[in-house]
Amino acid sequence: MTQHFAGPCAPTTGNRTGWWRDAVIYQVYPRSFADSNGDGMGDLEGVRSRLPYLRDLGVDAVWLSPFYASPQADAGYDVADYRAIDPMFGTLLDADALIRDAHDLGLRIIVDVVPNHSSDQYEWFRRAIGDGPASPLRDRYHFREGKGENGELPPNDWESIFGGPAWTRVADGAWYLHLFAPEQPDLNWDNPAVADEFRSILRFWLDMGVDGFRVDVAHGLVKAPGLPDLGGTDQLRLLGNDVMPFFDQDGVHEIYRSWRTVLDEYPGERIAVAEAWTPTVERTANYVRPDELHQAFNFQYLGTHWDAAELRDVIDASLAAMRPVGAPATWVLSNHDVTRHTTRFANPPAGTQIRTPGDRALGLRRARAATLLMLALPGSAYLYQGEELGLPDVTDLPDEVRQDPSFFRAAGQDGFRDGCRVPIPWTAEGTSYGFGSGGSWLPQPASWGALSVEAQTGDTGSTLELYRAALSARRELPGLGAGESVDWLPGTPAGVLAFARPGFRCTVNTTSSPVRLPAPGRMVLASAEVTVREGEFELPADSTVWWSV
């Protein structure tokens, strides 16, 4: 049973066109943001109660990870009803109130849509199984006969991203495809009923008044005809480095062209952002051609180490890839799937899943510098809840509290995403540091109190105040997020980046030694302590400075 609401109006402040081109978008992971009813799990009412905090932080929009009805086999990325709220997060009325309040505060709301797979508890899949092999609903998923004498082997050699085979056999002997957990069967986008259903889901949420969608596994919807074997290649090594028979197939773009027509039916520039792990920024650009989606996450940027040459290359490549399609570049350092960047930068470079705390002070210094660099770039930036507090990943969670399905599928060798999902601290003391009155679904470390919003507010040296100042300066410095290029300034020492934007300079030191440089203008903000004397300044190790010129 669904209810219908007249969609609340989008914020009238910032009613200019292209609001999303330079927007700073804050990711809320609802189960870990704020818990209003003391059940240890964050909820929509908790998010609503903290909207003033987000407005004051200075972000433009909030992206909420899934809060739909779900058995939570993958923290809500296994959706059992795309038009209902899971009771643990609240009700549709709560969603309506949240959207309305956000708009009243001038914040836009982006929700997740999960079209690559449903939950195995979604009505379609339950009927596909329950009605037996002849069920027409089987064609909405990828059911196949197995290989081997008695069909006892999976239909092809694809592996689940979470480990193990990408196929599970049902009682009547057929196999179904799941690129993620077995509880997340992949939908068959060649079946027109699937496309119809998702256009209807988009409309449902657009009618509710949301300003856009984050498209989960946007690169996965179309599979190569015949579901060909990979043929003995190391699948995990290929992931994100190559076009795969199940990822980044050209056919996905037709889907997004049809979604764009739906988005464009609505007033107020409703947008979509692709979660598309593609081999190159050029292939990412295909998702944001003018008649497709508006933005795509820049995972190449997220994966870049704290290294001046690498950063400059990825910034140039990202801007160059977006220019021909006219889309803004996007920038992101953390999300709910990777080790928080404070911890990545605290360790020697080693991918996006790190299991050791490393040198925390170093990680935080670099993280603060990386944020000022990111927010000085043209385009749109994504923040992940808690990064404004400088939270590290919680690397020592006991195995028995872990919930990431990939941890279990990969026999504890992988799947450490719970470490970035620990509920965030609001107060210096008290039960779950103000997250809620009933504890927290993952244990919070003792260090959380000193990192809380309460402890950092008003402390000018804190990371929270740095974010507040940076976001406020970004609004005030004309056009900082606009444009499509940066002018690199010559003559900087190795490991130091300097670039110009209109009326603005940014200097970044990625090395472990301070560097003395001429001051290019009036200092606006710095990620570390800097003194300017007689036209010169010392740029500390691992720091960034903003200048107005």
- Kindly state the number of chain residues that form the binding site for ligand NOJ, as judged by CB under 6 A: 9
Q: Fill in the per-residue mask, 247 to 286: x = in contact with ligand NOJ (CB under 6 A), - = not in contact.
A: ----------------------------x-----------
* Positions marked active-site: 216, 275
Pick out residues in 77-96 that bind ligand NOJ (CB under 6 A).
77
Q: CB of 404: closest distance to ligand NOJ in angstroms?
A: 8
By C-beta, is 114 or 288 nearer to ligand NOJ? Answer: 114
> Does residue 337 interact with ligand NOJ by CB under 6 A?
yes
> Does residue 74 interact with ligand NOJ by CB under 6 A?
yes
Structural contact between residues 118 and 81, judged by C-beta atoms closer than 8 angstroms: no
Structural contact between residues 187 and 115, judged by C-beta atoms closer than 8 angstroms: yes
Q: How far apart are CA 200 and CA 190, in angstroms?
A: 17
Structural contact between residues 383 and 330, judged by C-beta atoms closer than 8 angstroms: no
Q: Fill in the per-residue mask, 100 to 119: x = in contact with ligand NOJ (CB under 6 A), - = not in contact.
A: --------------x-----
Find the length of the chain: 549
Closest CB to ligand NOJ: residue number: 77
Nearest Cα residue to 203 out of 113, 122, 277, 279: 113
By C-beta, is 220 or 328 nearer to ligand NOJ? Answer: 220
By C-beta, is 27 or 347 nearer to ligand NOJ? Answer: 27
The distance from CA 270 to its chain's CA centroid, rounded to whole angstroms, is: 18
Q: CB of 214: closest distance to ligand NOJ in angstroms?
A: 9
Q: How far apart are CA 115 and CA 189, in angstroms?
A: 9
Residue 57 has phi, psi (to 5 degrees) of -65, -35
How does strand 108-113 pair with strand 212-215? parallel
Nearest Cα residue to 267 out of 19, 535, 517: 19
Q: CB of 98: closest distance to ligand NOJ in angstroms?
A: 21
Pick out residues in 295-324 that bind ligand NOJ (CB under 6 A).
none
Contacts of 205 (CB under 8 A, 6+ apart): 111, 113, 213
By C-beta, is 218 or 528 nearer to ligand NOJ? Answer: 218
Q: CB of 535: closest distance to ligand NOJ in angstroms?
A: 48
Q: How far apart are CA 223 and CA 225, in angstroms?
A: 6
Pick out residues in 422-441 that bind ligand NOJ (CB under 6 A).
none
| HSE of 44, CA atoms in CB hemisphere, 13 A | 26
Q: CB of 15: closest distance to ligand NOJ in angstroms?
A: 31
Q: Fill in the per-residue mask, 11 to 50: x = in contact with ligand NOJ (CB under 6 A), - = not in contact.
A: ----------------------------------------
How does strand 24-28 pair with strand 61-64? parallel
Among 63, 68, 82, 180, interactor with ligand NOJ by CB under 6 A: 180
Q: CB of 216: closest distance to ligand NOJ in angstroms?
A: 5
Structural contact between residues 494 and 520, judged by C-beta atoms closer than 8 angstroms: no
| Integer angstrom CA distances of residue 134 from 178, 336, 362 | 20, 39, 60
Question: Residue 464 has which token pair?
Answer: 């929270």
By C-beta, is 118 or 492 nearer to ligand NOJ? Answer: 118
Q: CB of 66: closest distance to ligand NOJ in angstroms?
A: 9
Question: Residue 457 has which token pair?
Answer: 């507010």
By C-beta, is 269 or 337 nearer to ligand NOJ? Answer: 337
Residue whose pair of structure tokens reads 């990828």 in the numeric block = 142
By C-beta, is 420 or 515 nearer to ligand NOJ? Answer: 420
Pick out residues in 215-244 that bind ligand NOJ (CB under 6 A).
216-217
Chain residues that interact with ligand NOJ, rule: CB under 6 A: 74, 77, 114, 180, 216-217, 275, 336-337
